[in-house]
Structure 1
Amino acid sequence: MMNSIPCMIMRGGTSRGPFIHMADLPESVEARSEVLLDLMGSGHPLQVDGIGGGNSLTSKVAIVGRSSRRDADVDYLFAQVDITERRVDYTPNCGNMLSAVGPFAIETGLVAPTYGETRVRVFNLNTQRIIECFVPTPRGRVEYEGETSISGVPGSAAGIRLSFLDVAGAKTGALLPTGKALDLIDGVEVSCIDAATPTVLIRAADLGVDGHADPAVLDADAAMLARLEGIRLEAGRRMGMGDVSQSVLPKPILLSAASSGDGTLCARYFVPHRCHKALAVTGAIALGVAVNVPGSIAQRLALDSGRTEAGRSLESIRIEHPSGHLDLKVELRGGNPMDIARVSLIRTARKIMDGRLFYRIPDALH
């Protein structure tokens, strides 16, 4: 049996996927997941029977609804839909998809636009955190055209400013879930940082790889990937997340010194079993925070390469990644590196399609 659902397909940052009203999906997690799996065509490496693109960056769904909270306008639930397996992961957030949540909320009447710029306060259900999205609305409607360019996306578009509030402990409740800025796992020094998303930071050189290598080169290194996954699993356990073998969290990030004079760090971000061709927004936020955490892998690399100084907080941060770079502004309360007020960055979004998506209703859910 076929059914259909209203949907807007949008690019948010370096990701793409369907944006759907929460009220148009089943309430139960099981039924909702079955619908998403069919919409995306999961169970086939190309997702040929759905709209997923056979890549983790295009197998994402944003579910948005009006919020009942006084400090938020809309609720946003992110779903990472597996490509080859019939599994949906609701544990991570996606800051790139978030870039289009504000435009989608305005386009579909969840938020009334103002002239000039519209602030959309988003409550992320995955992390239980508030993000402020400032959407260009110069004539009382969303403006997508502009001069802002972001690495990993061709052309330019209107800039959308995102401010992530109180990012520390998004999943584990603590900025340093293990209680330390530095841990030793499998003979390798790592930093377990939870800011916007749980991450495991590792020097690329400590795994014997070039931290500036192309993602395809890293993806072809089976021995390194196996060791990286072993470290990730143990890190997840130490961070209080239990067995993370079926979860995409925590995300491992290989770090090295920046190659450009204005870069802070160079990153290779894994999702978690393949190297991201750019950099997730939440991963970048974790790195921006980690650069200021005394003793962390990120701060040590920045100190060793002369990109920061001991005892000085760094507010403007540029993270190099395979497609270019991502710039962040980190605001600390009272200069305290363990008390992060907000992390801000600029992204872009594009409306691609507005219509209805068709899907099969599984027999068990009739």
Structure 2
Amino acid sequence: MTQTAIPYLLMRGGTSRGPYMNRADLPDDLDQLAEVLIAIVGSGHTLNIDGLGGGAAVTTKVAMLSKSNDDWADVDYFFAQVSVTDKLVDFKPTCGNILSGVGPAAIEMGLVSPQDGETNVNILAVNTGARVAASVQTPNGDVSYVGDAQIDGVPGTSAPVALRFMDTVGGITGAFTPTGNLTDTINGITVTCMDVAMPMVIARASEFGLTGYETATELDENKAFFERMEAVRIAAGEKMGMGDVSKSVAPKFGLLAPANQGGSVAARYFMPWNCHPTMAVTGAQCLASCLLTPNTIADGLADRSNETPAKVTLEHPSGLIDVLVDYEIGADGFALNSAGLVRTARKIASGEVYIPKSVWSGN
């Protein structure tokens, strides 16, 4: 055999897709693991023609699962973002859309025993330390992918996967506002730097001469905007204590504008070198937190709810996403308890993926 076989599930999680694998089937060393994931995805080609990737950042993601030693969690979820063309792997962030498939995948892999009706799976996102409780539909002890739940950006309907995110504040930087300020001015652009589920740099679309209602394609074609945005993102990364982020997908970038489709606010999320076709689950939590926090760049864009939990509806390029935010406003400002979302997932394929033995000969 000139190739190494590695078991995998190919799953859609939320509005993303990628291989879900048992961490025990992969190398321990992160440098070697990165080479293996590059080969699996086929990074280095715009179409990922020699791997499982789909030529877009939302289809070059990898979930690696294992039984957890944590007292609370059932499963450890280790995430990797593989670049489409640059043969880079980023282990810093997590992904909430891919996380939507972790509960079903853990049951399919035998890491969690299913219950009859509904199975609760407690997940530790090891990249950031977030804890996520997932409720998976398991009639007769089998994972169901059939139901009436619909999410914008995915055709058809499926069984709902209810997610409740906890311990998401400061997962990467250690702080809710990593710069110590609710707003900063960088290269003439006023931004809010916030770390909730995902560290982000958030600005008003109008600061860049945009409406905030542009399509993902229109934004991707606006090279002048991306040059300005990336310069702000890199400088903000330094101020957030994240060092040189020029080759890291974190912090992500977000734009806000007044709602025009019946939501709370219009939002565009960048991954960061192109616009997300829908909305990241992690980014949705950070943007919702920014909207609910006084004295951020979101002031005046929407009426803040005085109720908790508050439902924040973000308008994204493909529709809407709802975030249910359980929070408090006290003497120390905004305090997030948890954020809830409903997503869907589907198993697409299972079997073995092959990589050259020259990359890795296996355990």
Q: Shorter-chain TM-score: what band?
A: over 0.9
Deviations 1:138-158 (A, max 9, x none): 221111100000000000001
DSSP 3-state at the match of 1:33: helix
DSSP 3-state at the match of 1:117: strand
DSSP 3-state at the match of 1:298: coil
Report the equivalent of 1:22. 23
TM-score (structure 2 length as normaliser): 0.96
Deviation at 1:26, TM superposition (A): 0.7
What stretches of structure 2 of length at least 5 have no aligned partner? none
Report the equivalent of 2:326. 331
Report the equivalent of 2:272. 272
Deviation at 1:43, TM superposition (A): 1.1
Structure 1 stretches of 4+ with a deviation exceeding 3 A read 311-314, 333-337, 363-366
Alpha-carbon distance in 2 for matches of 1:294, 1:315: 15
Letter in 2 for 1:326: I
DSSP 3-state at the match of 2:340: strand
Report the equivalent of 1:254. 255
Deviates more, 1:354-363 or 1:216-225: 354-363
Report the equivalent of 1:361. 357
Q: Within 5 A, what are the aligned runs for 1:1-366?
A: 1-261=2-262, 263-302=263-302, 307-308=303-304, 315-333=310-328, 338-362=334-358
Letter in 2 for 1:322: P
TM-score (structure 1 length as normaliser): 0.95
Deviates more, 1:1-10 or 1:311-320: 311-320
What stretches of structure 1 of length at least 5 have no aligned partner? none
Alpha-carbon distance in 2 for matches of 1:299, 1:99: 31
Q: How large is the RMSD of aligned CA atoms in angstroms?
A: 1.6
Alpha carbons of 1:363 and 1:34: their partners in 2 closer, same or farther (altered >3 Å)?
A: closer
DSSP 3-state at the match of 1:301: coil
Deviations 1:342-361 (A, max 9, x none): 00000000000011111113
Alpha-carbon distance in 1 for matches of 2:19, 2:307: 42
Deviates more, 1:355-364 or 1:283-292: 355-364
Q: What percent of counterpart residues are identical?
A: 45
Deviations 1:267-287 (A, max 9, x none): 111110111110100000001
Aligned length: 360
Deviations 1:147-175 (A, max 9, x none): 00000000000110011002211111111
DSSP 3-state at the match of 2:301: helix
Deviation at 1:291, TM superposition (A): 1.5
Deviation at 1:116, TM superposition (A): 1.8
Native 8 Å contact 2:4 2:361 kept in 1: no
Deviation at 1:205, TM superposition (A): 0.7
Deviation at 1:30, TM superposition (A): 1.5
Deviation at 1:52, TM superposition (A): 0.5
Deviations 1:23-53 (A, max 9, x none): 0001111111111111111111111011101
Deviation at 1:334, TM superposition (A): 7.0
Native 8 Å contact 2:129 2:168 kept in 1: no
Alpha-carbon distance in 1 for matches of 2:86, 2:138: 40
Alpha-carbon distance in 1 for matches of 2:243, 2:20: 31
Native 8 Å contact 2:129 2:171 kept in 1: yes
Native 8 Å contact 2:103 2:136 kept in 1: yes
Letter in 2 for 1:153: V
